[in-house]
Structure 1
């Protein structure tokens, strides 16, 4: 079993939410599942200073290089990944999903998913390979797959992103961060993570459950 983990940089403000990524690795290791991380080799939308919470206008960073900080030495470019080598796909959250993997940060409800990321999600879905997503990454799943199936079910917490999910034909399930929701028909598992709480232990439980259900879908 080999799982792909799609990263969008390093740091919640302009890339992947690091805690969600590490907890995903922890759960995959717990269940004895191999994984490979990958990211796009291109400039990120902008660089966010996580100390003063301001954009660094003069600094330009690469998504792949930033993702490699949390890639555990096993990272590839998205272009080098074939879905034939993957049994499933995991998408951690972080604002990078809105800035780098899509243009949601600019276009809001009129946003589009990056074409290569959109193709990856659709190809995994059409190949009947399970997908897991957490936090804001569920919005990408909604946009890519909302018109691929008549009944897509994804979860959130505190009604976060509910409007945009429902606009993309999603039946929204409200759960807490200790839980994960399984859309059995579409082979998709989601958990709210930081959408529901700032308590890292509760998020750990939810991501662990997401990964466990995800692995069961693979079989």
Structure 2
């Protein structure tokens, strides 16, 4: 699931099996300069690797010039992905993100909206644990300063902001009244295990739009 925010004053829903391609190609021109913000490496404590890879593949196919960024901070904790349990020692978000970026990752503090055409945040629990405190505080979350700054800069510059999986909650906190989707607001027998996020989005004053997993949602406001 991918949510995009951009600016023009109408809502557009694009759907097919080519989710990322359609959304990215609709929102970002060929040869665009796109920033991808990572939150670590691994679904339970960082960026969801499949989502990050899918974003990078489709940006590459569209000949985008991609730069990757991550905050230079410690993770909330490090998870042993074979057991789903915390482990020691803890790790650094920037260093772990370099695994996905093949070393080519910069500190998020250096990301400026005036140097890029769009920004994309892949999902994974890192968005809820490292980029924000959503995992521990729910709708009372705090977003780390550099993420808040980047989202506001791109929003104010009227440039596309892409948010995958659970990452739309970041925009819900930072951009009042925005429209995003995390899929469904009902678990439907376990089909949507994180449906509760939709309620948190509404509590934050944003609007949650219910869409199927095969639909990408693009809100142009």
- Asked whether the two chains share a fold, i.e. TM above 0.5, the reply is yes
2:94 is aligned to: 64
2:59 match: secondary structure: helix
**2:113 is matched with which residue: 83, 89, 94?**
83
Match of 1:39 among 63, 70, 75: 70
The reply on whether 1:183 has 2:219 as its aligned counterpart is yes
Q: Is 1:125 equivalent to 2:155 in the alignment?
A: yes
Shift of 1:114: 0.7
Asked whether 1:165 is paired with 2:201, we answer yes
The aligned length equals 180
Q: Report how far residue 184 of structure 1 moved.
A: 1.0
CA distance in 2, matches of 1:171, 1:69: 34
Provide Cα deviations, 1:198-218, integer angstroms capped at 9, x if missing partner. Answer: xxxxxxxxxxxxxxxxxxxxx
Deviation of 1:62 (Å): 0.6
Structure-1 residue corresponding to 2:33: 2
Q: Distance in 2 between matches of 1:141 and 1:102?
A: 11
RMSD: 1.2
Give the deviation of 1:156 after TM superposition.
2.4
Q: CA deviation at 1:121?
A: 0.5
Q: Please state whether the residue corresponding to 1:180 is helix, strand or coil.
A: strand
Is the CA contact (8 Å cut-off) linking 2:171 and 2:178 kept in structure 1?
no
| Greater alpha carbon shift after TM alignment, 157-166 vs 86-95 | 157-166
Determine the C-alpha separation between the residues in 1 that align with 2:164 and 2:122: 5
Kindly provide the CA deviation profile for residues 149-203 of structure 1, in whole angstroms up to 9, marking residues without a partner as x: xx42112223121111111222221111221111111xxxxxxxxxxxxxxxxxx
SS of alignment partner, residue 66 of structure 2 = strand
Q: What is aligned with 1:194? A: none
The whole-number CA distance in structure 2 between the counterparts of 1:46 and 1:171 is 30
Which residue matches 1:27? 58
State the alpha-carbon separation in 1 of the partners of residues 113 and 198 from structure 2: 30
Distance in 1, Cα, partners of 2:211 & 2:184: 8
Structure of higher RCO (CA pairs closer than 8 Å, 6+ residues apart): 2
Aligned to 1:107: 137
Normalising by structure 1, we get a TM-score of 0.79
**What is the alpha-carbon distance in structure 2 between the residues aligned to residue 39 and residue 24 of structure 1?**
16
Q: Which stretches in structure 1 are left out of the alignment for 5+ residues?
A: 186-219
Q: Return the structure number with greater helix share.
A: 1
SS at match of 1:156: coil
Partner of 2:178: 152
Q: In structure 2, the residue corresponding to 1:11 is in which secondary structure?
A: coil
